[in-house]
Structure 1
């Protein structure tokens, strides 16, 4: 069995960006579960099939876990980067629903403000991929899966 390839080291700016993103996710997850539950509830689409509070609590827990993983799981940095990027994509429909349904939350009380916010979600995806080196080191993730199968 071949050893799992080690991702290339990341630069100090990437490391700082990864830790900062992790801290932001930890904070967001914490406020999901505490002081901003109603604000986050406003972002759950009306058509979503689960109870709103379950979605808010569940996404808060996921954010805490992802934030901790970004900071602590350096060996799995590439995989975590892809998972965080996928999470940001998965929650994007909530941001779209907030715009389409005209729901006020987090100071986004105009259609213009809600629309502008939509353009920041792709930046979060890019932040996750860049700061973890996930895009740069994507071949290593693929080859580690091939090594595990052999």
Structure 2
């Protein structure tokens, strides 16, 4: 059983991912391309399209498949960890995108990435399930 707050959090996170995925494929494609680190050995547009499709799939799963959140919970958190190097690269390379036109603005953004991981783990009940599993084993 999940709380109403977690349900709202999960749906809001799913909606955010659906919007982000859509923007990867449409109106913000160039902005997302600016965040792909230069060391990534894959075509930049392929990375942007691929990550957009992943965001659409994860967002859709969070919104439409609440009973399968066990399968999705850790994947969503891992996705936010996986895209973190792009945010670091944006700071290190001093790349302007999404209105982040100063080192300070880009650094502040880095602080919020772990909050997305926490949001994913909390709203899907991943932490709660992990704690309950540890208690039942102990």
**Post-superposition offset of 1:26:** 0.2
Whole-Å separation in 2 of the counterparts to 1:141 and 1:114: 38
Q: Confirm or deny that 1:68 pairs with 2:42.
A: no
Higher relative contact order structure (alpha carbons within 8 Å, sequence separation ≥ 6): 1
2:99 to 86, 102, 107: 107
Cα displacement string for residues 18-48 of structure 1 (whole angstroms, at most 9, x for unaligned residues): 0000000000000100010000001000111
**Post-superposition offset of 1:140:** 7.4
Whole-Å separation in 2 of the counterparts to 1:107 and 1:68: 27
SS of 2:80's equivalent in the other structure is helix
Q: Mean Cα displacement is larger for which, 97-106 or 67-76?
A: 67-76
- Which has the larger helix fraction? 2
1:18–1:132 Cα contact (<8 Å) kept: yes
Q: Which runs of 4+ in 1 moved over 3 A?
A: 139-142
RMSD between superposed Cα atoms in Å: 1.4
2:20 to 20, 28, 39: 28
**Post-superposition offset of 1:138:** 2.6
1:79–1:141 Cα contact (<8 Å) kept: no
Gaps of at least 5 residues in structure 1 are: 1-8, 143-150
Whole-Å separation in 2 of the counterparts to 1:78 and 1:138: 11
Aligned to 1:127: 119
Aligned to 2:75: 83
Gaps of at least 5 residues in structure 2 are: none
When residues 95 and 115 of structure 1 are mapped into structure 2, their CA distance, relative to the original with a 3 A threshold, is same
Please, what TM-score do these two structures have when normalized by structure 2?
0.93
1:92 to 74, 84, 88: 84
When residues 141 and 65 of structure 1 are mapped into structure 2, their CA distance, relative to the original with a 3 A threshold, is farther
Bigger radius of gyration, 1 or 2? 1
Q: Confirm or deny that 1:57 pairs with 2:49.
A: yes
